[in-house]
Amino acid sequence: MSEANKKRILIAISGGIAAYKTAELVRKLKKDDFEVRVCMSRAACEFITPLTMQALSGNPVHTDLLDPTAEAGMGHIELARWADMIMIAPASANIMAKLAHGIADDLTTTLCLASEAPLHLAPAMNRIMWQNPATRANAELLAERGITLHGPASGEQACGESGAGRMLEAAELADIIRRQFATNNRNNNNDDDDDDENDSDDDKVLSNPLENKQVLITAGPTREAIDPVRFISNRSSGKMGYALAEAARDLGAHVTLISGPVALEAPQGVTVLAVESAQEMHQKALQQAQSADIFIATAAVSDYAPKQQATQKIKKQAQEITLELTQNPDILSDVSRQYPSLFTVGFAAETEKLIKHAEDKLKRKKLDMIVANPVGDNQGFDQDTNQVEIIWDQGQLSLPEQAKSALAKEIMQIVSQRFANHPILV
Ligand SMILES: Cc1cc2nc3c(=O)[nH]c(=O)nc-3n(C[C@H](O)[C@H](O)[C@H](O)COP(=O)(O)O)c2cc1C
């Protein structure tokens, strides 16, 4: 590829143990024919030497805001303009805090403020630092502003602890960067309009991946009839699913909501399909999924239904009666199996071992993302607030307790970002 056509990645390294992985990332990007420049914080230089990064990137490494060698002495502006994409890897808790608050006290933070290039972060830190409410709030703020966070992953950490905080592996980050440009190229190639319009369309796709997408959501409980007047159901109110439908609509998506029986008003601009039983929901979901881009299953579907439904009201006679139950179809599994290219998001409402059960469900049902929330003990079902853990194959994010409407907006932002990185776009 000619030098002029090469994509230009600015890799910024902040101070964390995971900096050693970034050497491998730069090597991989060079191998893939990207033009790579590296800037490093003062702390980063304690973890890996600029000389190593210079040798791997083939370019001098930038460490100082005040750079007399830069043309016009403004190295930060030159780098900010040069980059097609900025990836901060590892992103320390410190740099996340600085970016969230617009602090520009070193080269990386200043050039990030001065750049229009898409900004991506690969956070890496001790799990308690990652869980700290300050870091959580900074991560959410950055995500809301369209900055993309990748990871961190869960696992054993350099500090000897285990949990969410590991930086994604170099191969995973290289793959994310490749896909980012593949998405741009695809959008360019598919558009016959002139270049100026092309550019603005690209921005739109990257900044709002849900625009005009078909989002299918299930919500509420199901009712499994025992006889014409009685049923088995659960405490789901549908509030979370309805709030997600509104949040997806507000992001420009066309939303279809398959709803079990709830006491909520249909959100404006959302197509609501009312169902009662798990069987009906299953049938509607498979039918609607054909034209969907994203499927979000928030409904609390009854796992079991009475094996037989009495045609007449069951009379009170015997002291004890036995109700035989049979398993309902698994809507989420069936949809994700039948439509493997669909971006699928599951919800896991658990009374115990929240993360473990959610991770199992993510893998077992081959989902792209799972939102886990604790239920029971006045949590989750039929409440106006909720707290959730969002888990995907390479990362995890906790969203603290808040109103379901606010939570839905945050969840949809994350769905939207993960969807944009979904392989189907490549
Ligand atoms: C041995 C050691 C390891 C560290 N690892 C991390 C880390 O993985 N993530 C993190 O956010 N901070 C880590 N820190 C703390 C940061 O280096 C520190 O907050 C520093 O100010 C970050 O500066 P920077 O964001 O400008 O690079 C570590 C510190 C030490 C001494």
CA of 180 to the centre of ligand 1 (A): 28
Ligand 1 centroid to 80 CA: how many Å?
24
Give residue ranges with CB within 6 A of ligand 1. 14-18, 41, 43-44, 92-95, 124-125, 129
- Proportion of the chain above pLDDT 90, given as a percent: 53
Q: How far is the CA of 15 from the centre of ligand 1 (A)?
A: 4
Residue 193 predicted with pLDDT over 50 = no
CA gap 213, 254 in Å, rounded: 6
Q: How many CA atoms lie within 13 A of 214 on its CB side?
A: 9
pLDDT of res. 423:
56
Measured between alpha carbons, how far is 295 from 212 in angstroms, rounded to an integer?
Answer: 15
What does the pLDDT read at residue 270? 84
Domain spanning 214-308+323-413: CATH 3.40.50.300: no
Minimal-distance CA residue to ligand 1 atom 9:
125
If you measure from the C-alpha of residue 410 to the centroid of ligand 1, how many angstroms do you get, rounded to a whole number? 27
Identify which of 45, 62, 94 to mutate to test ligand 1's pocket (most ligand atoms within 8 A of the CB): 94
Give the closest residue (by CA) to ligand 1 atom 28: 16
Residue 199 has pLDDT above 60, yes or no: no
- How far apart (Å, rounded) are the C-alpha atoms in residues 115 and 102? 13
> Domain segments of the chain: what residues?
3-187, 214-308+323-413
Q: Whose CA is nearest to atom 13 of ligand 1?
A: 16
pLDDT at 370 exceeding the cut of 90 = yes
Write down the CATH superfamily of domain 3-187: Flavin prenyltransferase-like (3.40.50.1950)
Q: How far is the CA of 7 from the centre of ligand 1 (A)?
A: 29
What digits encode the pLDDT tens for the residues 98-132?
999 999 999 999 999 999 999 999 999 998 999 89
| Higher per-residue confidence, 178 vs 55 | 55
Whole-model pTM above 0.75? no
Q: Do domains 3-187 and 214-308+323-413 have the same CATH topology?
A: yes
pLDDT of residue 187: 44
Give 360's contacts (C-beta < 8 A, 6+ positions apart): none
Confidence of residue 185 (pLDDT cuts 50, 70, 90): low
pLDDT digits (tens, 9 = 90+) for 29-81: 999 999 999 999 999 999 999 999 999 999 999 999 887 776 666 678 889 99
The tally of CA atoms less than 13 A away on the side-chain side of residue 293 is 20
Ligand 1: which of 92, 98, 106, 159 to mutate, judged by most atoms within 8 Å of the beta carbon? 92
Name the pLDDT band for 204 (thresholds 50, 70, 90). very low
CA atoms within 13 A on the CB side of 348: 25
Q: Considering only CA atoms, which residue is closest to atom 31 of ligand 1?
A: 16
- For the chain, give percent helix, strand, coil, nearest 5: 40, 25, 35
For the cut 90, the answer to whether the pLDDT of residue 160 exceeds it is: no
Percentage of residues in the chain having pLDDT higher than 70: 89
pLDDT given at position 303: 94
Q: Tell me: pLDDT of 417 over 60.
A: yes
Which atom of ligand 1 is closest in space to residue 94's alpha carbon? Answer: 25
159 flagged as catalytic: yes
Question: For residue 167, what is the DSSP state?
Answer: P
Write down the number of H helices and E strands in the chain: 15, 19
CA-nearest residue, atom 6 of ligand 1: 16
Which amino acid does the sequence have at 220?
G
Q: What is the pLDDT of residue 203?
A: 34
